[in-house]
Amino acid sequence: MIILRLEHVTKIYQTTSEQIFALNQINLNVRKGQFIGILGPSGSGKTTLLQIMGMLEQPTEGKVWIDGQDTSQLSEREITALRHEKISFVFQQYQLLPSLTVIENVLLPVMTFKKDKHLIERAEFFIDRVGLSHRRNHPPAKLSGGEQQRLAIARALMNDPDIILADEPTGNLDQETTTKIMDYFKEIHEMEKKTIVMVTHNLELTDYMEQTYWMRNGTIENDRKLKVSE
């Protein structure tokens, strides 16, 4: 089953002096439960692609289908609701709220700090899952980079998304911490059957991925140099 489909997606950024074709006629199908990697040089369009997949940006041309829904037909409000229901993000810079504690950051996607026992238990479950129970009431600034990214992964699981979009999630981490974080992604992929799309520069991470694509100047191709599952 196709969970994410891009059809002739083009994204043009208009600056005062030029038009930048960040994406040029991208066609891509992601199957439910797949773990795919997007690789390519700086400026090739990887982040733009991920943002369009997550409906944070709209394509200039073309369509994005999420779980069978043509998102071009949706209002802003419907897009927000669909994103909340189906998608979570993990970023290179973690994007945690510094004034909140670990547990409050995990509760943020469900927008509650009230004493909803079920949600608090759920947040505690994911905090435990990423090995941060002892840090429950600490602010993110007290955590290491790897711990902050584990917290971001716990937060990403809170709304039980079908799709996790990760943009260079290990870009700020050393090799050992990178392996730990990738093991969490592997576990989420295998045990929770989440679909994961990960942008990375790190060729070594492709061992974790079932399929990889290579981007160049806003176009995408199956990476034949790397492992392809089909």
- Phi then psi for residue 5, to 5 deg, are -135, 125
CA distances from 150 to 91, 145, 157, 188, 223 (A): 11, 9, 11, 12, 29
Contacts of the segment 68-74: beta carbons below 8 A, 24+ positions apart: 68/2
Count residues near ligand ATP (CB under 6 A): 12
16 lies in the binding site for ligand ATP (CB under 6 A): no
In angstroms, give the least distance from the CB of 95 to ligand ATP: 15
Q: Which of 33, 89, 53, 79 minimizes the C-alpha distance to 220? A: 53
Span of 40-48, 58-66, 145-153, 179-187 interacting with ligand ATP by CB under 6 A: 40-48
Nearer to ligand ATP (CB atom), residue 94 or residue 126: 94
CA dihedral in degrees (66, 40, 46, 70; nearest 10)? -20
Which of residues 7, 25, 31, 43 is near ligand ATP by CB under 6 A?
43
Span of 28-36, 41-49, 63-71, 182-190 interacting with ligand ATP by CB under 6 A: 41-49
Nearer to ligand ATP (CB atom), residue 13 or residue 72: 13
Query: CA-to-CA distance for 7 and 65, rounded, in angstroms?
Result: 8
Both tokens of residue 207? 């061992």
Query: CA-to-CA distance for 195 and 172, rounded, in angstroms?
Result: 23
165 lies in the binding site for ligand ATP (CB under 6 A): no
Span of 14-22, 125-133, 188-196, 203-211 interacting with ligand ATP by CB under 6 A: 14-22
Which of residues 5, 36, 37, 44 is near ligand ATP by CB under 6 A?
44
In angstroms, give the least distance from the CB of 211 to ligand ATP: 18
47 lies in the binding site for ligand ATP (CB under 6 A): yes
Check if the beta carbon of residue 124 is closer than 8 Å to that of residue 101: no
Q: Which residues bind ligand ATP (CB under 6 A)?
A: 13, 15, 20, 22, 40, 42-48
